Amino acid sequence: MKKIHLRKIRLIAMLGATLAFAGCDAIQNANNQQKGTAIGASSGAVLGGVIGNQIGDGNSVLGAIIGAGVGGLVGNKIGDKMDRQAEAITETVPGAEVTRIGEGINVTFDENSGVKFELNSSALTNSGKETLSKMAEVFTEYDDTRILIEGHTDSSGREEYNMSLSEKRAKSVADYLKQAGVDASRLTIKWYGETQPKYDNSTEEGRSKNRRVELGIVAGEEMIQDAREEVKQ
């Protein structure tokens, strides 16, 4: 079965931090808004390329967020808006693992933290639907973002089955969000089966965390244009 080495993923993250913050002490103490500007301006394109080369066509949420960075003062404005959206998600969906990265947001749900499915199925449980309904409320309020939905599994079972299951689960999440009022044009769906583990598949806890759905939230054209207009003023 295929595996992406955790060391490689950590190396990419470390490289991103080095590119974004090396040589600038002021950025070390920056808030999320300021970090969005720094990452976008100094390393977004470089890091996006590095991640793309390391992971290949299956560019992860991290790569998508960094690669979508605008940078500069415009990125600063976008970062401020993403700070507020991340806070709204955290308050509305306590079970979500919310991480601000550059000018975007990474939201992760494993099978124990919000978006749950029936066993070996893409059918959402009632609690999973409840979580996504809350997420849809935030997405409807902040309607100038684009959303990447990724499906992942652990390494148990056949690789082909896991790839198919991750696809069905990602599509199930997207379908529910659309039913809850999120514009379909904002959604992009990807799936990776067992090929992008974040945790150790040799332990039950690691496998449980690898059975996850990840969301990448980045600025849409409207948000970018609004930020540009604000900078001009």
Say if 202 falls within a structural domain.
yes
Query: What per-residue confidence (pLDDT) applies to 113?
Result: 80
Task: Spell out, as residue ranges, where the chain has pLDDT lower than 70.
Answer: 1-59
Say if 48 falls within a structural domain.
no
- For residue 176, the Cα-to-chain-centroid distance in whole angstroms is 18
Say if 3 falls within a structural domain.
no
Say if 20 falls within a structural domain.
no
Say if 54 falls within a structural domain.
no
How many structural domains compose the chain? 1
Q: What is the CATH number of the domain that holds 179?
A: 3.30.1330.60
Say if 30 falls within a structural domain.
no
CA dihedral 5, 209, 219, 70 (to 10 degrees): -30
Residue range(s) defining the domain that contains residue 98: 73-232
pLDDT in tens, 26-52: 323 334 443 443 334 333 333 333 333
Interstrand relation of 104-110 and 145-151 (parallel, antiparallel or unpaired) = unpaired
Query: What per-residue confidence (pLDDT) applies to 40?
Result: 40
pTM given for the model:
0.76
- Greatest Cα pair distance, the chain, in angstroms, is 57
